[in-house]
Structure 1
């Protein structure tokens, strides 16, 4: 049996299991906005004039203790860099970060009732400008600058209460007071990933025909995309669904946020011209017959999930993986549990030794994953009990991993409390 490590957990109410889909998304957005507010409040601070005598206070209520006239406005940061630093802080748990357009909208001062706004807003004296025109920001349309603030690489978050500290650790997947390195400003990988904005932000009008499947989110690892492909993926059933034409609409919603939204040109049409259906077979399709013609998923760490009343059984194929370096961890998000498998791929080595012969990799398109470390995170439908004991087993061949995950028991559960006499010393009067 493999050792199953425990990831960070949060002790949220079990009522989250019974929330509707809309309520879960609202709770997720609220926590993501709270995490963004904590990050910008503590990892950035106002820059005061030399003659200013006020003291900046950073606590669970935000940044205070200064006036507009105290700010030194010739110091500024480019919002593009601040976005990179924020996404670097959440790169271990990108699902808990705001989406691309949501982050920009939040930093521009747009927030909903009950949400904590961006701490360095214009009404507090932090001037905005578009004075940055260096080659470093070429391609950006007048990058916006926030005046009067500077970064804090290693802040002190002890001003938060214990519950907030635990929540911050859960959202970021990092230590409480992690440090931000200078190269975090250059972290731009997140900008090329599929958009992760919440569906509640800008709901799309329903389409009469089959909609385009949502984009897959790349999992962390060494270039291995181990996300599960939908049944209509191009490498699966061979059908590619793509809208004929989309256009950007920003004036469709009354709030005027600068979040982008793609809408079909003719969303109310009943004709099938809205979607082009292309049947494209992958190059290896003709080499197979039978079930393999409908196969989809990665070669290594492909998963299948079964379940019964007591829990889940996750079966994962691990060919060309080092069994001694396979690790299984788990944690709970607000709405569901996540099981993470990490290992090292030994496939597609550049050279292979067999007796006295050395073979060189010459296949231009090998179908096994490349060598190196990889991780895969598998979300479950429900949260995992906080006191759960997961079990992980390899079969005799060492290429099939089975993970048993218990479920929450349905309905109230009785627990007997031991009744005993109080020790005599506790009755003595002081």
Structure 2
């Protein structure tokens, strides 16, 4: 028998976030980096999460890669597919959430599909179709200043409608409170009325379990990692999934490194705290632009530090500094320069004994994991909501914690290493 659940994530940290959710719900999960090229990932596995780097890619490229992932998952038995995007709906008016969801729906012949990026444990909730972050509307949160995907609206109906060719309706919280059957009937009613998507309110984990139950017969489910909370139980009720699964802590020895590229408020707070305790250096974009060997210099510095303390290298900056850098070099070039250095640093330092890596930020995680040539990850224990440790499969042993920029408390970096020491 093939895998039960397949997932397509639009960035690497989002993929580990979703994989973490599924592991906590009793599934054996492997996360692949890109579309797999063989069948080695499926033996004894309940779910495969395909991590793509498509959140800010050109729309056509995002669609093409997502459809390739879908074909692989379907060929390996996936009975249901989750399209996972950020719990803050990171996107632009052009995409890529809407176009990718449209393409997946069409390829699968799916009906009205759920849109639910809620993650209550990390204070992402949906009420009357509006997304709230930390108790304030999305467009009033720090996401309004995101350097790549500034979010200036909190209405998921409007946001999805701008990107998708389909009509978008709402299943309000008063319906969710009535249970899974009420949610199912509401979605069917929206489908009959011509809607391709149903934004579903969620204020708690109980709501997410109700939504998961309502989605038991859906071919495609879209949302954040939270929307998958109730999906494993559907397979369990069919006798296809056991009650528990063991989670292995990565058993990887080596020096400890944090690479941070996220400019989120949470990550900047984490950096500020870590700077008081650990050796720290900042990546200077101007030096990269001048052609200096920034990666080489930083690697030499890192190797010279005391080997008992983690080393922190970051490119994170406040919104004003980011805007200034982007005004000089352009958004794409500025990001590409930093990602190239982060990837080169990871390769050089890993070759010299740094084998326990925490990476903050989706784009940074993509650059680092790709540069290291990691093909797949076995998901381990949770560090904080939405962030697990993982261990590379089939390559040089690596312990990796890929953190969404917005996740984790101020002392997240220290907590992460405490888990595997």
Provide the TM-score with structure 1 as the length reference. 0.26
**More helix per residue:** 2
Q: Higher RCO, 1 or 2 (CA under 8 Å, sep at least 6)? A: 2
Q: TM-score, normalised by structure 2?
A: 0.26
